[in-house]
């Protein structure tokens, strides 16, 4: 009896391949948003310290087995999303990815939350937020436009 492996897609139709890929991508973003939420809560509860890690970054790398890049992007995004919860929903719906979230935060020093090097002037486009994530309402400003 031959076993079928997930990467052997030769017998899958084009339509099934497209649909399967779309489903996997959607599930991946949903999972990513939940991973980010869990990392944010681990930091909030200081579970990493209780487990003996000197930092959350160290915990992500040594305990969770993330690469340094994965740990940086997820931790940075978790801190952003903790301050601006709409980011969780945007990741969940594939409206923003981790790299973009981190890039949009480059003007900030992230350590235990977002603290600007100077006082930012937030330019809020609530219509953009609500059209991207309708149920987001006015949960807070996004960091898309900072002057």
Tokens coding 132: 């991207």
Burial label for 79, CB within 10 Å (0-12, 13-18, 19+), is buried
Tokens coding 2: 């031959």
Cβ atoms 141, 122 nearer than 8 A: yes
- Give CA–CA dist 10/7, Å, rounded: 9
Q: Where are the alpha helices (DSSP H) in 1-147?
A: 14-45, 47-50, 56-58, 68-83, 86-92, 98-103, 126-132
pTM, two decimal places: 0.69
Q: Which of 133, 32, 37, 139 is nearest to 78 (CA)?
A: 37
For the chain, give the mean pLDDT. 77
Could you tell me the end-to-end alpha-carbon distance of the chain, in angstroms, rounded to an integer?
A: 64
| 29: confidence class by pLDDT, cuts 50, 70, 90 | very high
Q: What is the pLDDT of residues 38-85, one digit of tens each?
A: 999 999 999 999 999 999 999 999 999 999 999 999 999 999 889 888
| 120: confidence class by pLDDT, cuts 50, 70, 90 | very low
């Amino acid at each position: 009896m031959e076993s079928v492996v997930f990467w052997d897609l030769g017998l899958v139709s084009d339509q099934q391949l497209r649909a399967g890929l779309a489903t996997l991508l959607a599930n991946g973003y949903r999972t990513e948003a939940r991973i980010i939420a869990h990392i944010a809560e681990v930091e909030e509860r200081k579970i990493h310290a209780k487990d003996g890690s000197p930092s959350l970054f160290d915990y992500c790398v040594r305990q969770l087995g993330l690469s340094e890049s994965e740990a940086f992007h997820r931790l940075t995004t978790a801190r952003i999303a903790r301050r601006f919860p709409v980011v969780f929903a945007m990741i969940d719906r594939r409206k923003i990815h981790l790299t973009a979230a981190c890039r949009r935060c480059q003007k900030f020093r992230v350590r235990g939350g977002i603290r600007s090097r100077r006082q930012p002037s937030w330019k809020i486009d609530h219509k953009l937020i609500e059209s991207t994530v309708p149920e987001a309402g006015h949960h807070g400003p996004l960091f898309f436009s900072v002057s």
